[in-house]
Chain A
């Protein structure tokens, strides 16, 4: 019954430069599940998301990661995206001069090309874009804006969820998506994530705070500390961490 496994991380060690950050992570994510990875600053949360999406300056020193049974670590970042992995960035990057429309049509058509399919018709694409922007309550004029340039913190995060809705990923990884968000923005993000979840998909929510988990209820909560998962439990762990912090683990 292994075929419902989306992501399998086995004894993952990873480093930035000479510094070992992840010191043996084991994690299995099955279809339909929502996992929360919580931990204090410096625990390795962002390194975990960087490794899963293939950020160049991070290196895996040992262990393995498979996605749908394939060696994820051998795949380029763009190949991971084509295979259905999406990362919502903690710090979304500005791309001066590139409009959101141009950015997204390039992304959507690159994936279709990789899957051997025809590019989307411009009309269909724009219609989809309007719908998804409305869904995350982004104003239509953002379609012409340069990607993330001059966006507020909340606008950047909404733009991440918009892109997630456009790309319709199988595995969504949200890296500190809640940081710096007010309650309204948080609700929009949560609505997006909840609407995109299905029995065939899964999410990994990486967060320092419990805030977002009031709106997205995880099936599993993991405490990441000093590069290891030191405790795994159900959603009740969120309240426990809220009350007592990370010191007990």
Chain B
């Protein structure tokens, strides 16, 4: 039902994905665990869009848990198009030191889409960085639920964790619930999080219109600029351009 296009190549040519059980540790490995092994790099963008010919569908990722070992790097971007309902819960465990995670995404929801996103990033080991940014737009009667938790274990000193979820409500009927949480048990860490829900700035719209930009075009510019910090996380320029082009059509379709 879903086109799960892999629009960004896996940069590292070595085998980097593992499934299965490792070590007796508090981390619970399951069949859907993606392991980014020691010293490896995993970079991927997931585009969740209705299949061609369909106007709606259900979106999912091929894994439901990520484990990041030491000195590893993971960069995952999730792009959810109008017409897609999804319930994505993705816990992340850092099980080694000196690793880094970028987790980013955007959603443009419409109609009666229901988009649920839940990311618990568990810093179990010292010296890791996590950076999450999710900027999304809710239109129609769609409902978006975002839940993000950063957990820093007592031993995970020198953790650097950041999370932000920004939302634009495009209609009166659309709903967004966002719940950012921090649980910090270590003292030498840098953590911040934030969430916003707002509407498109009408002062800026008037400013643009006074320069001859039609209202709808002004809204498109505003929405694309809202999404662009997420686009920057797609490292391959060609693929970034192709996702950006599809997103522009998506944004035009929800005005």
Measured CB to CB, the residues of A under 8 A from B are: 53-56, 76-78, 80-82, 86-87, 89, 92-98, 102-104, 106-108, 110-111, 114, 146, 163, 167
Verify A96–B225 contact, CB threshold 8 A: yes
Verify B221–A106 contact, CB threshold 8 A: yes
B207 on the interface (CB 8 Å rule)?
Answer: yes
- In the complex, how many angstroms separate the beta carbon of A169 from the nearest chain B beta carbon? 10
> What is the CA–CA distance of A89 and B207 in the complex, to the nearest angstrom?
8
B212 on the interface (CB 8 Å rule)?
Answer: yes
B209 on the interface (CB 8 Å rule)?
Answer: yes
Contacts of A87 in B (CB 8 A): 210
Verify B211–A107 contact, CB threshold 8 A: yes
A81-B210, A106-B217, A107-B212 known; A56+B202 contact, CB < 8 A: yes
A56-B206, A97-B226 known; A81+B221 contact, CB < 8 A: no
Residue of A nearest to B202 (CB): A56
Verify B212–A93 contact, CB threshold 8 A: no
- In the complex, how many angstroms separate the beta carbon of B229 from the nearest chain A beta carbon? 8
> What is the CA–CA distance of A110 and B225 in the complex, to the nearest angstrom?
18
> What is the CA–CA distance of A104 and B161 in the complex, to the nearest angstrom?
37
> What is the CA–CA distance of A35 and B136 in the complex, to the nearest angstrom?
47
> What is the CA–CA distance of A95 and B211 in the complex, to the nearest angstrom?
13
User: How many A-B residue contacts, CB cutoff 8 Å?
Assistant: 75
Verify B202–A98 contact, CB threshold 8 A: no
Measured CB to CB, the residues of B under 8 A from A are: 201-204, 206-215, 217, 221-222, 224-226, 228-229
Contacts of A108 in B (CB 8 A): 212
- In the complex, how many angstroms separate the beta carbon of A128 from the nearest chain B beta carbon? 15
Q: Identify A111's interface contact among B203, B212, B221, B226, CB under 8 A.
A: B212
- In the complex, how many angstroms separate the beta carbon of B129 from the nearest chain A beta carbon? 25
Verify A76–B209 contact, CB threshold 8 A: yes
Verify A102–B217 contact, CB threshold 8 A: no
Q: Identify A98's interface contact among B209, B210, B225, CB under 8 A.
A: B225
Q: Identify A110's interface contact among B202, B213, B224, B229, CB under 8 A.
A: B213
- In the complex, how many angstroms separate the beta carbon of A147 from the nearest chain B beta carbon? 8
Q: Could you give 10 example pairs across A and B, Cβ below 8 Å?
A: A54-B210, A76-B215, A78-B213, A86-B210, A93-B204, A95-B208, A106-B208, A108-B212, A110-B213, A110-B214
> What is the CA–CA distance of A108 and B211 in the complex, to the nearest angstrom?
8
Contacts of B207 in A (CB 8 A): 89, 92-93, 95
Residue of A nearest to B207 (CB): A93
Q: Identify B212's interface contact among A56, A98, A114, A146, CB under 8 A.
A: A114
Residue of B nearest to A97 (CB): B225
> What is the CA–CA distance of A76 and B213 in the complex, to the nearest angstrom?
11
Contacts of A111 in B (CB 8 A): 212
Contacts of B210 in A (CB 8 A): 53-54, 77-78, 80-81, 86-87, 89
A95-B225, A98-B222 known; A82+B212 contact, CB < 8 A: yes
Verify B212–A55 contact, CB threshold 8 A: no
- In the complex, how many angstroms separate the beta carbon of A126 from the nearest chain B beta carbon? 18
Contacts of A94 in B (CB 8 A): 204
Verify B203–A93 contact, CB threshold 8 A: yes
Residue of B nearest to A81 (CB): B212
A92-B207, A93-B207, A95-B207 known; A78+B225 contact, CB < 8 A: no
Contacts of B224 in A (CB 8 A): 97
Q: Identify A55's interface contact among B201, B206, B217, CB under 8 A.
A: B206
> What is the CA–CA distance of A113 and B47 in the complex, to the nearest angstrom?
33
- In the complex, how many angstroms separate the beta carbon of A94 from the nearest chain B beta carbon? 7
Contacts of B225 in A (CB 8 A): 95-98, 146
Contacts of A78 in B (CB 8 A): 209-210, 212-215
Residue of A nearest to B221 (CB): A98
Residue of A nearest to B223 (CB): A97
Contacts of B228 in A (CB 8 A): 97
Contacts of A163 in B (CB 8 A): 211
> What is the CA–CA distance of A94 and B225 in the complex, to the nearest angstrom?
12
